Amino acid sequence: MNKAPFNSKNEFPNVILAYVNCKPLTNWEVEEFYSLTNSAGYNVAGYIFQQRETPDGRYYIGLGKLNDLKSVSLATKSSKIIFYNELKGHQFFQLEKELGIEVIDRTMLIIEIFSKNAVSNEGKLQVELMYKKKMLPRIMGQGLVMSNQGGGGAGGTGARRGIGEQQKELDKRTIKNEIKQLENKLEKLSEERAIRRKNRERNRCFTISLVGYTNAGKTTLMNALSNTNAEAKDQLFVTLDPLSRRISTIMGREILLTDTVGFISNLPHEFVRAFRSTLEETISSDLILHVVDGSSPVAYEQYNVVNSVLDSIGASQVPSITVVNKSDCGIFSFVPHSDNFVAISAKNRINLDSLIKIINKFLTQKIESEKVIISKNNFVGLFEEDSTTTLSK
Ligand SMILES: Nc1nc2c(ncn2[C@@H]2O[C@H](COP(=O)(O)OP(=O)(O)OP(=O)(O)O)[C@@H](O)[C@H]2O)c(=O)[nH]1
Ligand SMILES: [Mg+2]
């Protein structure tokens, strides 16, 4: 992953990154955090890590580091603090009150990137759902802080608090209703997607899903295999909406290739829930092409992240080919665990014919095995027909 192209000049608003844990993030996790921040359109002006066994209940970060955060953000004129940790609703509120600037966490950062990149109706609804689900605890947390702070004051304060709480209660209910409506709309779209899938199955189309760590080159490969021109950029989460293209036919059957949203480490739960129907495409496909950026120094880490996400969504049983991309960048030190892999360059169209051969071989074998099953079934059918005839005689 390359963070230089969108971070070289200070033309973006400054932000400070923060992380609290008993052990620091690995170098590549820090690098990923920087890249996400850059992709959202910010410049990283500082990174503060605090080693702590347990987070502070009120601010998540300890008081000493909180003061550091305050002075660094003031000195760098930063507009936001971004925590890698998932914060609770009241912690956002307390931190913002103390620091005087906006505080978000990594999940909200990802939602920001998604909201810039969502194109289709479904993509926009998915992002909105993630956003609303994230906002709800913030509003509830704010209410919690206000009611704790109010404690037994004189009539005036109590009355003001009462109005504030009523407003929060109203906001909470409105957001809950909006979440329900969004979920219903997405459910409808998911049903439509399932019908399309059934139709493809009926027409006996083969479906191949492109999966991989974000920025691995999935869209570039999709374009190369289908001779199209979907947007591919050196940024994270450029593709959010699954895009299917017919790439060719084999023994009279169509082959559809679907490009999907990229993965990253520690995917927020909201992501998996909001993108459930998109991810279902992957689970139901005949073959997965797992695209890895072989030129990345952290290719193994990215490969493992994707495998564990596939596992968590129930797609680890789908047959897959590992496509080690960007072979034009030099000799790879990365070799996948599976035997089923091929090194290519999607951008420079190097070795695509080997990849196509492997895909064709896999699909031909699949057709052959289906034929065996069909003829076995026919045999059983004949036998049963025969036995009933005998019995009725
Ligand atoms: N050098 C080199 N760069 C490549 C190759 N394939 C893709 N790229 C570049 O890698 C970057 C990411 O490519 P995309 O195709 O957008 O990657 P993606 O996996 O679809 O990314 P997301 O949609 O953001 O998850 C772009 O700048 C591409 O030009 C390749 O074979 N060689
Ligand atoms: Mg893409």
Greater model confidence, 147 or 205:
205
Question: If you write DSSP's letter for every residue of 3-49 in order, what string do you get?
Answer: -GGGTSSS-S-EEEEEEEESSPPPHHHHHHHHHHHHHTT-EEEEEEE
How would you classify the pairing of strands 253-259 and 243-250? antiparallel
* Cα–Cα dist 121/241, whole Å: 9
Structure tokens at 31: 């690098």
**Pocket flag, ligand 1, residue 346 (CB < 6 Å):** yes
Distance of alpha carbon 48 from alpha carbon 20, whole angstroms: 9
Q: Does residue 388 have a pLDDT over 50?
A: no
Q: From ligand 2's centre to the CA of 71, what distance in Å?
A: 39
Instruction: Tell which atom from ligand 1 comes closest to the C-alpha of 214.
Output: 25
Mean per-residue pLDDT, 2-17: 66
pLDDT at 385 over 50: no
* Predicted local distance difference test score (pLDDT) of residue 287: 95
Per-residue pLDDT at 4 exceeds 50: no
pLDDT confidence of residue 147: 54
Q: If we measure between CA atoms, which residue out of 75, 71, 99 comes closest to residue 83?
A: 99
pLDDT at 15 over 90: yes
pLDDT band of residue 374 (cuts 50, 70, 90) is low
* DSSP E strand stretches across the chain: 14-21, 43-51, 80-83, 102-105, 206-212, 243-250, 253-259, 287-293, 320-325, 341-343
pLDDT score recorded for residue 323: 97
Position 387 scores a pLDDT of: 36
**Which has the closest alpha carbon to 371: 253, 284, 289, 288?**
253
pLDDT of residue 116: 85
Q: Are 72 and 46 in contact (CB under 8 A)?
A: yes
The predicted pLDDT at position 377 comes to 61
The DSSP-derived string for 83-150 is: ESSPPPHHHHHHHHHHHSSEEEEHHHHHHHHHHHH--SHHHHHHHHHHHHHHHHHHHHHHHHHHHHHH
pLDDT band at 337 (very low <50, low <70, confident <90, very high): confident
Residues forming a β-bridge with 46:
16
pLDDT tens across 225-252, in order? 988 777 787 778 777 777 788 888 787 7
Probe ligand 1: pick from 39, 233, 293, max atoms within 8 Å of CB? 233
What percent of the chain clears pLDDT 70, i.e. is strictly above it?
86
349 close to ligand 1 (CB < 6 Angstrom): no
d(CA 344, CA 351): 5
Q: How far apart are CA 26 and CA 10, in angstroms?
A: 26
pTM assigned to the model? 0.82
pLDDT tens string 73-128: 999 999 999 999 999 888 999 999 999 999 999 999 999 988 888 878 888 898 89
Highest mean pLDDT among 22-36, 193-207, 379-393: 22-36
Could you tell me if the CB of 215 is within 6 A of ligand 1?
yes
What was the pLDDT predicted at 335?
Answer: 85
- Give the residue, 9 or 391, on which the prediction is more confident: 9
Q: Which of the residue ranges 21-25, 69-73, 113-117, 211-215 would you say has the lowest mean pLDDT? A: 113-117
Say how far apart CA 387 and CA 7 lie, in whole Å: 75
Q: Is the CB of 329 under 6 A from ligand 1?
A: yes
pLDDT tens digits along 115-158: 888 878 888 898 899 888 888 888 776 655 555 544 444 444 45
- So what's the pLDDT on residue 10? 58
At residue 154, the pLDDT reads: 41
Tell me the pLDDT of the chain averaged across its residues. 83
Mean pLDDT within 358-373? 86
Mean pLDDT of 37-61: 95
Q: Which residue has the higher pLDDT, 164 or 108?
A: 108
CA atoms within 13 A on the CB side of 55: 17
Determine if ligand 1 sits within 6 Å of the CB of residue 253.
no
Provide the pLDDT for residue 63.
Answer: 94
348 or 139, which is more confident: 348
Ligand 1 within 6 A of 325 CB? Answer: yes
Atom of ligand 1 nearest to the CA of 350: 31
Would you say 338 and 362 are in contact if contact means Cβ atoms under 8 Å apart? no
Of 59-68, 267-276, 347-356, least confident by mean pLDDT is 267-276
Take atom 2 of ligand 1 and give the residue whose Cα is closest. Answer: 326
* Confidence at residue 162, expressed as pLDDT on a 0 to 100 scale: 66
What would the mean pLDDT of 200-219 be, rounded to a whole number?
90
Which pLDDT band, with edges at 50, 70 and 90, does 322 fall under? Answer: very high
